[in-house]
Amino acid sequence: MAQPFPPQGNQSPHTERPLKVYSEQYVTGQPLPIGAVVDPTPGPDLPPLFADGQPRVPLETGWVVVHPTDWVISNRYSGQPIEVISAEEFAERFGPSSDL
C-alpha cells in the first residue's frame, strides 16, 4: 500500500469517524463471501463472462477478482459489496481480524 502524502498548503490531518461495515474474508475451501460469484453469466442461455473459475465481486467500477485471504467489504445498510481489499490493508484499516 502506498504511503500517505504529508499535508500540503493549508491542509491539516483529521480522523474520519468509523463507518461500520460488514466484512467477510475469502478462504479457499470455504463458502464464497456474500456477493462473490464464479463464472457469472449475463443471462440465460449465454456463455459466462469469465470462464477461468476465479471468484469475482461486481462493484460499481467493474468486476474485481477475489484472491485467497482478501476481504469483501459490504455496506451494512444495503448489504451490497463496496470494495475488495487485501488482508494487509484490512489489518491496517480495521485492526486484526480476530477483533471482529
Any domain includes 79: yes
Say if 84 falls within a structural domain: yes
Q: What is the pLDDT of residues 52-92, one digit of tens each?
A: 999 999 999 999 999 999 999 998 888 899 999 999 999 88
Number of compact structural domains in the chain: 1
3-state secondary structure at position 90: helix
Domain assignment of residue 55, yes or no = yes
**Position 7 in a domain:** no
DSSP classification of residue 17: P
Q: Residue 2 falls within a domain, yes or no? A: no
Domain assignment present for 16: no
Domain membership flag for residue 5: no
Q: Is 72 within the bounds of a domain? A: yes
User: Could you report the per-residue pLDDT of 42-61, keeping only the tens digit for each?
Assistant: 888 888 899 899 999 999 99
Number of Cβ within a 10 Å radius of residue 14 = 6
Q: How many other C-beta atoms are found inside a 10 Å radius of the C-beta of residue 11? A: 9
Q: Return the C-alpha cell found at 40.
A: 457469472
- Which domain range does residue 90 map to? 21-99
Q: How far lies 67's CA from each of 60, 63, 86, in Å?
A: 19, 13, 8
Model pTM score: 0.76
